[in-house]
Amino acid sequence: MISLNDDIFIRPMLESDLTEVIAIETSSFPNPWNLEHFLDEIKAQYSFPLVSLNGSDKLTGYICPMLLFDEGHIMNVAVRKGFRGRGVGKLMIEKVLAECREKDAAFLSLEVRISNLSAISLYQRLGFIETGQRKKYYENGEDAILMEYLFSLECSINKKRRK
């Protein structure tokens, strides 16, 4: 288990986590993933789903990223109500960024609801840029914003800072 600060830990998702993961998923999304989706992610060769836990081992969130060749993608992420706005999502995304960076990813992409302003703001603060939109992507007809974190851009920014 990796400690990212005094209160939140992030580790790989286990089948034994799925009852709590499903509870968070169901309370977070109108069309939630089912148990089979999460089992598939745990077993998939290119996926590395993670969970976050507080100091009392209460599951506070999860994230389902994948990395195939040099292309990373976050397919699903949610934080338990009551823990939102406390930096849990930020820590999980930073962990995924670190894993992808370590494995030489070119970019990490995701889709986010156009109405999810808090998530969009978080992604922008972490260095994601908007790359497009998917019209009527979600079940209710809502558009998705496509966002990417470009590791090559990160390298360029770091080189400029060193000069």
Q: How many domains does the chain have?
A: 1
> Which of 7, 6, 8 is closest to 61 using CA atoms?
8
Q: Are 8 and 59 in contact (CB under 8 A)?
A: no
- Note if 123 is an active site residue: yes
Q: Is residue 163 scored above 90 in pLDDT?
A: no
pLDDT, tens digit, for every residue of 96-130? Answer: 999 999 999 999 999 999 999 999 999 999 999 99
Total residue count of the chain as it appears in this document: 163
The rounded distance, in Å, linking the Cα atoms of 49 and 81 is 20
pLDDT-based confidence at residue 148 (cuts at 50, 70, 90): very high
Q: What is the CATH number of the domain that holds 89?
A: 3.40.630.30
For position 6, what pLDDT does the model report? 54
pLDDT, tens digit, for every residue of 28-74? Answer: 999 999 999 999 999 999 999 999 999 888 999 999 999 999 999 99
Q: Are 48 and 38 in contact (CB under 8 A)?
A: no
The average confidence (pLDDT) of the chain is: 91
Residues whose CB is less than 8 angstroms from the CB of residue 119 and which lie 6 or more positions away in sequence, other chains included: 89, 112, 113
Catalytic residue among 25, 123, 148, 149: 123
Catalytic residue among 111, 139, 142, 154: 111
Q: Is residue 1 scored above 70 in pLDDT?
A: no
- Note if 94 is an active site residue: no
Range of the domain at 133: 2-162
